[in-house]
A and B are shown apart, each in its own frame.
Chain A
């Protein structure tokens, strides 16, 4: 490990940061071209450096060391430092690659936006923060990156800050994430107290000795330390990776511009929780209870968020619920100790989901920023590249044998079948049923957008209602009826193609080394004796080709086919049926449409409750009890006393003299004993 590698590590996060600072502070001076040039240069530098580092790691070189000491206090020493191992190197590659694609795409997508430079500054800043998060070698820096990506997410969801829905959504996202962060921070606190360090390597080293330790947070109820720590850490992951019941912020985050939905709310930031749990595998492996908890939360998210995707009419929201569901799949993989499978799915998902979002964005551009899929149809012949790439992304997502999503998702399903933790049965059902749901909502969207009649020609139905969150106000466009859509410019389509390539081949090419070839090495720890899922997978794996052949005769594949067929039948053949079903379903449909009532409940109970409580405490506590009775009461009493004094004496001098006499009397009483 020479000095040169350490410099290279530093370049990875700092190059995007430099781009962000230049574009942010001097955006007006350097202009639009300057802003995108400097940020793209920064991210491209980081990408190239990541490739070099990845190759270096493949050659067996890892690194764990500090950059500088942030703070010391008592025995605590907090450092900013890097841990470069296969897990980190892979994440760096995924983050910088998707980020680079999104940067280029943004040139086209945000072309007319007055906040162009600001946008580039934000996404470059995000890239910096995300890299700091994945490259960290300690919990403090992890938390730093964790909150910093949250900040940029907040800024970007509210990017169009004049829209009430956007600035509501970004506040909501920040606060819901803070709930998770509270758990995360307390988990870090317990680690500091019981391990005496926040450095990963030291914590992992000490973990086995503390496996049996219990703590009594409630007197007389000892809990396993590891269970408490892991569940607290996972609560942080539930916020960031939008797991039930902290998932509520992610659909609303679609208020932000589409490029960030792809980068932040699909490919990278929302997978930070998944990455974190995988990174903490030496801790999670010590608590079956925590793993069961992870498993069940993931399963609920995977299935029930998928249901919601079936009734969405906003193209971005369909993809958003799909993201929630897929994050649930990754979480399930974590729960059954198939960490490498979770990271594998994280990677393939990053490619095909970023592709789906960017393709959806391309559709939105073509539709003049109308997002309601009911207003689309027949776009295939107008936007051929977008059509083909979105189709590839959808096929990858639903697990078409041979494409990337098939390998990662089927591995999750198989691993779940092999698990025997409490909750594994439910999880196995959820991830299997989820396949049908995924296929249905994906191809419902696909058929409505690209096939069938060209509905965009006849006015726009329900354009300003729930579906089409239009941002034309920001683009200064107004449109009566839609003119036929056109294919997007090359800066938009090239990233689509670039992302379509790994969406096709990444599964086939990488499943063997990543899951069974020991790629992760010591970065991921699994107690195979207690959690046999990975071993089970390995025993049944006979190469990617055999897996594809086997996939063609397995249940998930036919569930996916059934999902596509159902969508085809309902939305292309019998287009009158969905409306009838909707009327028949009644309450069931309403429940889905209201997203199980979480938003309404949170608004009423938490937001409303806090305001009500705050108001009561203020009026009854501060204004009435303290000010009204105590302070002003004392003032009145002093006033009356003064009046008495004044009636005996005259003038203020005596007032003070009186006070002095009382004071002296008190002193005398005090000391004479």
Chain B
């Protein structure tokens, strides 16, 4: 039946079709259980069809794999062109896996408009896979913009009291970046003689002036998504207002789109500008790590704290990308995957608490371990991963990037390394105030420990965090060929005078 449809198409369209089916069939909340089951089947199917990407992946080549290419709008030479390499493939898997978790996470918590909620996540999952797989500029742009619609809805419909402000803030930030990127895409189209092929753009010679302008345009589009300091302030608001599932997807996947944009567009398309402006990127990354680390320390809202922690951790990603060595880039990519697990898990942990006490304030908790020991153990693991403890996934990316940075500049590495102290300080201080101590109030005394469903979600993530931490080789092996090719490519100037 599926002959002729590529694996990548399946990873995109299976969840989207499942989402549309949900919208059509499950609008009645009285039959919510059936709706949830259908959503889970859709998410599991979506993950299942992505698995061949891993098992069938050829680690020896840097070329695009699982390529699909058909004309879409021939008049403008726009193609439905998909393919993944060692850089993008892990994110398709991460996204498809995360979708299963968020469906489970919303299982009992969401009681109104269940079908719409689940559909939004499934459709968003398909669109995100599209972002990571698209090799056509217009196709990428369409997925890139379209993925935001479900996110707006998730925050706007199922979000907290201040959701309108958060949504508008996000919209304003994104609008600016998107418009500039559209301009850049069109410029590249004309400059390349009428091609939207991203890989062709990689080979396109460009003058320094053009490169710098393109850099600026892409920078605004991607830096907002990462987010980099100082265009980060939408993230804490979006996170605090989003429902748990929204926060998980936002942290685990959506932020990665920005970072992915830098490796897929900025580095290969404008390598000379990237070298020229690397100081700026490094500075902004270090500011994110140090400044945001300090800001995270004083947050009183758990989600806001984890949001700030996300920004600091993503600072390692952009730092790694712009020091131009294998450790930096692979470290940044590993950090992206790890951050997907760890921050997703931490937002789920806050969700577990929020579902019970309806508060995100650290001060409303204290001594949770007394009533929720299993939960406390899981959260300890994820907190330690967030603090970059060896043996967890959180260590590897930071370690690689710091090693790579020492090679370039010792003082940058020292500044980045401060995260060892800050990351531990804000994470463990929060953990101390929320989890340790005597039972703080009657609400905490009445808490029930996690149930089977919550246990399953957290256990799955715990396995991922530990497996990646103890044996990261399989992941980095997948990246080697593509990263080496990228570095080789970036080291050649494409200036024309």
Q: A577 contacts the other chain (Cβ, under 8 Å)?
A: no
Once the chains bind, are A74 and B295 in contact (CB under 8 Å)?
no
Q: A552 contacts the other chain (Cβ, under 8 Å)?
A: no
Interface code B423-458, partner A: CB below 8 Å = 1, 0 otherwise?
011001100100111100000000000000000000
Residues in A neighbouring B326, C-beta threshold 8 A: 73-76
A126 CB → nearest B CB, Å:
13
The chain A residue with its CB closest to the CB of B484 is A74
Once the chains bind, are A670 and B187 in contact (CB under 8 Å)?
yes
Once the chains bind, are A144 and B183 in contact (CB under 8 Å)?
no
Once the chains bind, are A667 and B186 in contact (CB under 8 Å)?
yes
Once the chains bind, are A162 and B367 in contact (CB under 8 Å)?
yes
Q: A579 contacts the other chain (Cβ, under 8 Å)?
A: no
Residues in A neighbouring B425, C-beta threshold 8 A: 175, 610
For chain B, residues 479 to 493, give those with C-beta under 8 angstroms from any C-beta of chain A: 480, 484
In the complex with contacts A162-B437, A186-B410, A627-B233 CB distance below 8 A: yes
Interface code B224-257, partner A: CB below 8 Å = 1, 0 otherwise?
0000001001100000000000000000000000
In the complex with contacts A178-B421, A182-B420, A192-B406, A71-B396 CB distance below 8 A: yes
Once the chains bind, are A667 and B390 in contact (CB under 8 Å)?
no
Residues in B neighbouring A458, C-beta threshold 8 A: none
Q: A600 contacts the other chain (Cβ, under 8 Å)?
A: no
In the complex with contacts A73-B330, A161-B436, A181-B420, A189-B403 CB distance below 8 A: yes
Once the chains bind, are A622 and B390 in contact (CB under 8 Å)?
no
Once the chains bind, are B390 and A143 in contact (CB under 8 Å)?
yes
- Docked Cα-Cα span, A143 to B420, in Å, equals 13
Residues in A neighbouring B414, C-beta threshold 8 A: 182, 186
Once the chains bind, are A72 and B476 in contact (CB under 8 Å)?
yes
A242 CB → nearest B CB, Å:
17
Once the chains bind, are A189 and B186 in contact (CB under 8 Å)?
no
In the complex with contacts A614-B294, A622-B233, A185-B417 CB distance below 8 A: yes
In the complex with contacts A179-B421, A182-B418, A186-B413, A171-B403 CB distance below 8 A: no
A177 CB → nearest B CB, Å:
9
For chain A, residues 72 to 103, give those with C-beta under 8 angstroms from any C-beta of chain B: 72-76
Once the chains bind, are A186 and B473 in contact (CB under 8 Å)?
no
- Docked Cα-Cα span, A174 to B486, in Å, equals 39
Interface code B5-47, partner A: CB below 8 Å = 1, 0 otherwise?
0000000000000000000000000000000000000000000
Interface code A209-224, partner B: CB below 8 Å = 1, 0 otherwise?
0000001010000000
- Docked Cα-Cα span, A630 to B422, in Å, equals 27
Interface code B169-206, partner A: CB below 8 Å = 1, 0 otherwise?
10011000001001100110010000000000000000
Q: A55 contacts the other chain (Cβ, under 8 Å)?
A: no
- Docked Cα-Cα span, A186 to B415, in Å, equals 11
- A151 in complex: contacting residue of B233, B298, B384, CB < 8 Å: B384
Once the chains bind, are A72 and B480 in contact (CB under 8 Å)?
yes
Interface code B360-386, partner A: CB below 8 Å = 1, 0 otherwise?
000000010110000000001000100
Q: A617 contacts the other chain (Cβ, under 8 Å)?
A: yes
Once the chains bind, are A178 and B403 in contact (CB under 8 Å)?
no
Q: B89 contacts the other chain (Cβ, under 8 Å)?
A: no
Once the chains bind, are B403 and A670 in contact (CB under 8 Å)?
no
Residues in B neighbouring A611, C-beta threshold 8 A: 297-298
The chain A residue with its CB closest to the CB of B474 is A71
Residues in A neighbouring B258, C-beta threshold 8 A: none
Residues in A neighbouring B471, C-beta threshold 8 A: 68, 70
Once the chains bind, are A610 and B297 in contact (CB under 8 Å)?
yes
In the complex with contacts A175-B424, A638-B172, A617-B233 CB distance below 8 A: no
The chain A residue with its CB closest to the CB of B429 is A171
B167 CB → nearest A CB, Å:
12
Interface code A46-75, partner B: CB below 8 Å = 1, 0 otherwise?
000000000000000000000011111111
A238 CB → nearest B CB, Å:
15
The chain A residue with its CB closest to the CB of B409 is A217
Q: B477 contacts the other chain (Cβ, under 8 Å)?
A: yes
- Docked Cα-Cα span, A154 to B425, in Å, equals 13
Once the chains bind, are A73 and B297 in contact (CB under 8 Å)?
no
Give the secondary structure class of B's interface.
helix
Once the chains bind, are B406 and A186 in contact (CB under 8 Å)?
yes
- A72 in complex: contacting residue of B169, B428, B477, CB < 8 Å: B477
For chain A, residues 170 to 196, give those with C-beta under 8 angstroms from any C-beta of chain B: 171, 174-175, 178-179, 181-182, 185-186, 188-190, 192-193
- Docked Cα-Cα span, A613 to B413, in Å, equals 21
Once the chains bind, are B472 and A71 in contact (CB under 8 Å)?
yes
Residues in A neighbouring B435, C-beta threshold 8 A: 161
- B294 in complex: contacting residue of A167, A182, A613, CB < 8 Å: A613
Q: B402 contacts the other chain (Cβ, under 8 Å)?
A: yes
- Docked Cα-Cα span, A507 to B183, in Å, equals 79
- Docked Cα-Cα span, A601 to B259, in Å, equals 41
- Docked Cα-Cα span, A70 to B395, in Å, equals 13
Q: B325 contacts the other chain (Cβ, under 8 Å)?
A: yes
- Docked Cα-Cα span, A330 to B390, in Å, equals 28
- Docked Cα-Cα span, A617 to B432, in Å, equals 24
Q: B355 contacts the other chain (Cβ, under 8 Å)?
A: no
Once the chains bind, are B406 and A193 in contact (CB under 8 Å)?
yes
Q: B344 contacts the other chain (Cβ, under 8 Å)?
A: no
- Docked Cα-Cα span, A154 to B326, in Å, equals 34
Residues in A neighbouring B295, C-beta threshold 8 A: 614, 617-618, 621-622
The chain B residue with its CB closest to the CB of A662 is B179
Q: A648 contacts the other chain (Cβ, under 8 Å)?
A: no
Residues in B neighbouring A518, C-beta threshold 8 A: none
The chain A residue with its CB closest to the CB of B405 is A189
Q: B109 contacts the other chain (Cβ, under 8 Å)?
A: no
Interface code A373-384, partner B: CB below 8 Å = 1, 0 otherwise?
000000000000
- Docked Cα-Cα span, A443 to B298, in Å, equals 46
A194 CB → nearest B CB, Å:
10
Residues in A neighbouring B438, C-beta threshold 8 A: 162
In the complex with contacts A161-B437, A613-B294, A618-B298, A144-B330 CB distance below 8 A: no
Residues in A neighbouring B273, C-beta threshold 8 A: none
- B424 in complex: contacting residue of A140, A174, A617, CB < 8 Å: A174
Q: A615 contacts the other chain (Cβ, under 8 Å)?
A: yes
- Docked Cα-Cα span, A99 to B270, in Å, equals 58
Once the chains bind, are B437 and A73 in contact (CB under 8 Å)?
no
- Docked Cα-Cα span, A53 to B72, in Å, equals 68
Once the chains bind, are A144 and B390 in contact (CB under 8 Å)?
yes
Once the chains bind, are B331 and A631 in contact (CB under 8 Å)?
no
Residues in B neighbouring A70, C-beta threshold 8 A: 471-473
Residues in B neighbouring A618, C-beta threshold 8 A: 295, 298-299
Residues in A neighbouring B395, C-beta threshold 8 A: 147
In the complex with contacts A182-B420, A190-B410, A610-B425, A151-B389 CB distance below 8 A: yes
The chain B residue with its CB closest to the CB of A150 is B389
Q: A468 contacts the other chain (Cβ, under 8 Å)?
A: no
Residues in B neighbouring A630, C-beta threshold 8 A: 230
Q: B391 contacts the other chain (Cβ, under 8 Å)?
A: yes
Once the chains bind, are B179 and A69 in contact (CB under 8 Å)?
no
Q: A158 contacts the other chain (Cβ, under 8 Å)?
A: yes
- Docked Cα-Cα span, A215 to B411, in Å, equals 13
Once the chains bind, are A185 and B420 in contact (CB under 8 Å)?
yes
Once the chains bind, are B437 and A148 in contact (CB under 8 Å)?
no
- Docked Cα-Cα span, A637 to B440, in Å, equals 46
The chain A residue with its CB closest to the CB of B299 is A618
In the complex with contacts A161-B369, A634-B172, A147-B291 CB distance below 8 A: no
In the complex with contacts A190-B406, A621-B291, A634-B172, A73-B417 CB distance below 8 A: no
Where the two chains meet, the residues of A that have a C-beta atom closer than 8 Å to any C-beta of B are: 68-76, 140, 143-144, 147-148, 151, 154-155, 158, 161-162, 164, 167-168, 171, 174-175, 178-179, 181-182, 185-186, 188-190, 192-193, 215, 217, 610-611, 613-615, 617-618, 621-622, 626-627, 630-631, 634-635, 638, 663, 666-667, 670-671
Given contacts A73-B476, A167-B432, 16 further A-B contacts (CB under 8 A): A68-B471, A70-B471, A73-B331, A73-B480, A158-B436, A182-B417, A185-B417, A186-B402, A186-B413, A189-B405, A189-B410, A192-B406, A192-B407, A617-B291, A621-B291, A630-B230
Q: Which 7 A-B pairs have the closest CB atoms?
A: A74-B326, A189-B406, A614-B294, A144-B390, A614-B298, A614-B297, A167-B436
A to B CB contacts below 8 Å, 6 in the list: A69-B473, A167-B437, A185-B399, A621-B295, A622-B233, A671-B190
